[in-house]
Structure 1
Amino acid sequence: MRYVQLRAFHHVAIAGGFSRAAEELRLTQPAISDQVGKLEAEYDVQLFDRRRKQVALTPMGEKLLAVTHRLFDAEGQALDLLSESRALRAGQLRLVADSIHHVLHVLSTYRERYPGVQMTVWSGNTETGLAQLSSYDADIAVLGDVAPSRDFEMIALNATPIIAFVAAGHPVATRPSLTFAELAELPLVMRELGSRTRRLVEQRAGEHGVALRYAIEVEGREAVRDIVATGAGVGFVSEAEFVAGEGLTRIPLSGPPILMEEALICLSERRESKTIKAFLGIARALTN
C-alpha cells in the first residue's frame, strides 16, 4: 500500500469520479485508475462499484473513506502546524448554520483579524449540519439540540424562546399571546421535517394534548417568512431571529418558554486546525 494509492482512492471517493479526481490531482485519468486498481488488487477488495455512470463506494470503500478522511485531515493539520502563519493568511473555513445570527459578532471579529481566510457559509438544520461535519464537508457548525459528546468540541452560545409570527393584517395579529389549542384551529406554515423549531413546537403541543396540522410545509426559515408575510398563516421562529417590521407581527406563545439553545460545534479531532482553533478562540472570548 502506497500513499499515492490512498490519495487517489480518497480523491475519487470525495470527487465522485475518476475524471474529477484526476483534475484535482493534476494527473491523467488512467494514472488515477491504475493507482486505485493496484490498491484493490493488492488487498483483493473492491472499493468502488463501477457498474453505474457515477462510481459509488462499496461498503469496504465507505469504511476506508472514514479512515482516509482522518489521515488526510491529520496531514492538513501537520501542514498547518508547520506553516501556521500562512494558514491564517490564506486558508479557508467552511461553516454551516441553522441560523448565522448567533455568530455574526464572531464572524465579524474573525474577518478583521484574518482577512486572508476565505469563508464559506451554508444554511442547514441540525441533522444536515452534523452530517456535514462528520463527512468533513464543513469545519464548524452553529446548531442546537446537540447532546454533549466526546466526538464534538462545543461552545454554548445563547438560548432564546420560540415565538409565533403573522402578517400585520392577520386576524390574530393583535392577540397578546396564542395557546396551543388556538394554534390547532389556525393555518400553520411549518418548517421541513428535521427542523428543530418544528420539532420543539410539536413536542410542546403534544404535552398540551394538541396535534398541530400544517397548512403549508416549506424548507427554510426565509421561505417561511415570505409565505407568512402574504397572510397565508402562522409561522414560528426563535425570537432572536425574528426581524421586526417587514409587515410582520410577533406573538408570544402561552406557557413556559420553548427555548432554542445554540452551540458552536466542530469535530474534536479537528479542533487543532489553525483556522478552526482561531474561530473557536474568538467565540470563547466573546461569549464569556
Structure 2
Amino acid sequence: MLRPNPYQLTAFSHVVREGSVTDAARKLGVSQSAVTQHLQKLEALVGGKLITRSREGQTLTRTGQEIFELAERHVSLERLIAERLAGYATLDSGHLTIIANAPVPALSLIARFNKQWPNVQIDFTLYDWTTAIEMLRNHQADIALIFEPTHSTEWTIYQIGRKRYVLYVPADHPLATRNTVSLADLSDQTLLLPEQGSLTQRVVAKALSKYNLDVRRKIKTTTFPVMKEAILQGAGVGLFLEDSTAETHALVSIPIDEMPETYRNCVVVPNDKHDFRLVQSFLSVVETRLHTDDL
C-alpha cells in the first residue's frame, strides 16, 4: 500500500496555509520546485486534484479539504514532538501565527508576550469576524483573539472580557460632548462600518432594524485602524466595540442608548495546537494580564 511521506503532507499543509507554493517554499526554506513535486506526488497518491486555482486564488477540492485536515494533524504532531525533544527549559525561539478581529487587546498581549519571548517570530494580522472563524476551522492560526466566537469541538475558548458598542467621533464633533447618543442621532451622519462579514456590521444592522431606523450615508471600511484614520480625517463617525484603540485626545467614544449589550472578548486556541509550548506561554501571559488589568 502506497503511503504519503511526511514531506508531502508538510508541503501540502503549508501551501494551503500560506496561500501559494511560493510562500510555502519561503516558509519551509526549500525551493518552489521541491514543494511542487511533493504536492504533485501527493495528488498522484490520492488520485485527484487537492487544490484548484483561479484568478481569485486557490481553493481546496473536497478531497483536498479532507487530506488537509489530516496533514494539519501531522504537522501539529511533528511540531509538538520537536518541542518535547528540544526540552522546555531551553526552548526560547519559534513561531506563532496570531489573528484577531480587533487590535486591542491583541497587540497589548503580544507586546507583553514579546518581552518574555523576544526571539519568537510572530505573524499578526487583523481579519473580519467571518474570515477569522474560517481560518480557525482551516487550522490557519495558532491563536485567535476574537469577539463572540462560535462554539466548536475543534477549539478551546478563554473569555478575557466583555465590551459594548460605542460611537467614535472626533473630539471637535458636535456629538463629542454628549454622555450618550441615540441611534436616531446618526440619521444625518456619515456612518463608518467594517466590511461585510464583520460582527459589527451584523450587530449594527440588527439594532437599526429593531428600532426601525436607518442611516442614509454609510462607508464600509476594512479594519478598525482604517476606520480610526477615516474618523480623524473627518470622513464620518464610527460604530465599533469600546477600547478598540488606545486612548487619544483626538478621538471620543460615546455609549449608545439602544445598544447596552456586551460581547465576549475571547482567546481561541485550536485543540491540535493547544499543547504547544509557545501557545501555553501565550496563555500564561493572558492569565497574568487578567489578574492585573481589565481586558
Over 3 Å counting, the alpha-carbon distance change for 1:114 and 1:28 in structure 2 is: closer
Which residue in 1 is equivalent to 2:137?
Answer: 134
Which residue in 2 is equivalent to 1:254?
Answer: 257
What is the CA deviation profile of residues 145-165 of structure 1, one whole-angstrom value per residue up to 9, with x for unaligned ones?
A: 113332211111111222112
Which residue in 1 is equivalent to 2:174?
Answer: 171
TM-score by length of 2: 0.81
Q: Which amino acid aligns with 2:136?
A: L
CA contact (8 A) 1:159 1:260 kept: yes
Residue of 224, 228, 235 corresponding to 2:227: 224
Which residue in 2 is equivalent to 1:47?
Answer: 50
Structure 2 CA distance for aligned equivalents of residues 33 and 242 of structure 1:
42
1:199 CA drift (Å): 2.3
Which residue in 2 is equivalent to 1:121?
Answer: 124
Which residue in 2 is equivalent to 1:145?
Answer: 148
2:239 aligned with 1:236? yes
1:108 CA drift (Å): 3.9
Q: Which amino acid aligns with 1:124?
A: Y
Structure 2 CA distance for aligned equivalents of residues 67 and 118 of structure 1:
25
Q: Which amino acid aligns with 1:220?
A: T
CA contact (8 A) 1:169 1:231 kept: no
1:8 CA drift (Å): 4.8
1:272 CA drift (Å): 0.5
Structure 2 CA distance for aligned equivalents of residues 99 and 18 of structure 1:
29
What is the CA deviation profile of residues 77-119 of structure 1, one whole-angstrom value per residue up to 9, with x for unaligned ones?
A: 1111221337731111121122232245533442233222222
CA contact (8 A) 2:128 2:198 kept: yes
Structure 2 CA distance for aligned equivalents of residues 55 and 149 of structure 1:
25
CA contact (8 A) 2:181 2:257 kept: yes
Percentage identity across paired residues of the two chains: 24
Over 3 Å counting, the alpha-carbon distance change for 1:183 and 1:68 in structure 2 is: same
1:134 CA drift (Å): 2.9
2:158 aligned with 1:155? yes
Output the aligned Cα RMSD.
Answer: 3.1
Secondary structure of 1:173's counterpart equals helix
Structure 2 CA distance for aligned equivalents of residues 108 and 48 of structure 1:
37
Which residue in 1 is equivalent to 2:274?
Answer: 271
CA contact (8 A) 1:190 1:214 kept: no
2:201 aligned with 1:198? yes
Which residue in 1 is equivalent to 2:88?
Answer: 85
Which residue in 1 is equivalent to 2:79?
Answer: 76
Structure 1 CA distance for aligned equivalents of residues 19 and 279 of structure 2:
26
Over 3 Å counting, the alpha-carbon distance change for 1:237 and 1:266 in structure 2 is: same
CA contact (8 A) 2:113 2:282 kept: yes
Over 3 Å counting, the alpha-carbon distance change for 1:248 and 1:81 in structure 2 is: same
Over 3 Å counting, the alpha-carbon distance change for 1:86 and 1:15 in structure 2 is: farther
CA contact (8 A) 1:49 1:58 kept: yes
Q: Which amino acid aligns with 2:122?
A: M
Ranges in structure 2 where 5+ consecutive residues have no aligned partner: none
| Rg (Cα) greater in structure | 1
Residue of 206, 212, 216 corresponding to 2:215: 212
Which residue in 2 is equivalent to 1:282?
Answer: 285
CA contact (8 A) 1:84 1:274 kept: no
Secondary structure of 2:92's counterpart equals helix
What is the CA deviation profile of residues 34-93 of structure 1, one whole-angstrom value per residue up to 9, with x for unaligned ones?
A: 5555544455334355899x8765432232122111111111111112213377311111
TM-score by length of 1: 0.83
Q: Which amino acid aligns with 1:91?
A: G
Secondary structure of 2:178's counterpart equals coil
Over 3 Å counting, the alpha-carbon distance change for 1:57 and 1:243 in structure 2 is: closer
CA contact (8 A) 2:184 2:213 kept: yes
Over 3 Å counting, the alpha-carbon distance change for 1:272 and 1:51 in structure 2 is: closer
Which residue in 1 is equivalent to 2:185?
Answer: 182
Ranges in structure 1 where 5+ consecutive residues have no aligned partner: none
Aligned length: 286
Structure 2 CA distance for aligned equivalents of residues 41 and 123 of structure 1:
36
Range with greater deviation from structure 2 (188-197 or 250-259): 250-259
